[in-house]
Structure 1
Amino acid sequence: MRTYVIGDIHGGLKALIQVLNKLEVKDDDTLIFMGDYVDGWSEAAQVVQFLIELSQKINCVFIKGNHDVWCENWLDSGDVNPTWYIHGGKETMESYTGFSAEEKKEHLEFFKNLKLYYLDDKNRLFLHAGFTSMHGVTKEVFEETLYFDRTLWEMALAIDKNINKDSVLFPKRLQHYHEIYIGHTPTTNFNSFEPMNAANIWNVDTGVAFSGKLTGMNIDTKIYLQSDIIRDLYPDEKGRNKD
């Protein structure tokens, strides 16, 4: 059995299908999705529908991202967060054209059931963004931190590579887990189209919201496969501007 982690999708259904085909996913594989299924490209609602149907055939773990929270709130109440609207919400709302009230209700349940984090049997942690508690993710005070925080990744990038994980100088919040997998902060911010590793953290958001690629990575071997550049898959769309 293989376990793959899939980076932020942001409405790029074509990229998702391309990656899953390249991975040659089998029925006994596990797919861990890192959140932000919507907001960016034109097929947000279609991505959610695809994932719902995929989870009926294969074991999937779905993490909740900040964009998913915004979309969930809109589906639930009809309220449009202005920040969400200008950061992909408009495209997501448009993608729901033609979806029935019953289908929207099913999607709302999908969003409500997303996990804030997932810890596997090998002490590998998966969450969308980060956490700040030195006692670990279960002691995080504010739920929003789990899908908005960027300080965890910033800290990992700043750690002296000569400091061993067992050293008293190694950050305590990283010592709780064998590995940590995140999305949220695109690696394209650091001029990389590939997953990045810092300390014991793997960042698999390779910028598909903007002009990067979607990544699927085997968490045991660290071998990864990617979609084409997203703008090549949606040549008639502008996508999101970098923010």
Structure 2
Amino acid sequence: MEISGTENSAPASFADDDRPDIEYRSALDGAWYSVELVLLHDVLVVRYKEFPSEYDEVFPASEHFSSSVEIGQFAERFRPSFEQMQDSECPTVAKGTEVCALCHSTAEEVKFYDAIVVQVDRTRHGHNEKGEEVCKCSFLLSWKSGPLVGKVTCAKIEDICLRPKNSRVDPILLLFLKKAKDQLPEHSHNVLVDSSAGTSPHKYGLMNIIDSLKSPPHQQQLPTNNLDFYSVQRARRKGRFASRTA
């Protein structure tokens, strides 16, 4: 859906090139996608990176939410982008580490879902022709979401992304959430969420409600991700993935 208009500026403390990379959990398939946000007056446009504009999702602050709880649920669909695991980070990953990983549910469909490391089968690291460390360990993952939820599968380092050290929230999202809350009926201005509640794996200290928001305004089916295509998409942001799967 194309929308034209004047984009609101982010708060002065964040330059445009300093906005954090973010991920969005789609309501259609529950997978995480790299997105960028545009705020046009009081309308938030969620744009999937590397996908055409017809897949944009549009959320009007004045129409989409009926309570602070729904705003909290919506906020939980965004988080700072998990970062491609590096070979040298292998020793830091152990049983219980929460990750975002490639889920090879079918040969044609490869998407990112949340999982927990339940076991690491370690092997001696090698080195490539450039002398760079290469991790050859295997990681058993228990899937928290997606088509394999509840199952345990094996993954390699190139499949795994780790929680970023920097947990800044995109200021565009913060501004939109404020606009949405300000436009709620007065009786709906309840406390969003106790920051100590819930078990969400991506806490901002803002809201911790886990489950899904009602479906987006349109039910456009997201494209099936080809492994090579999605590897390239991830590599452009992570800087490593394509070389591991070439």
TM-score for both structures, normalised by structure 1 = 0.26
Of the two, which has the highest radius of gyration?
2
Q: Which has the higher strand share?
A: 2
Q: Which has the higher helix share?
A: 1
TM-score for both structures, normalised by structure 2 = 0.26
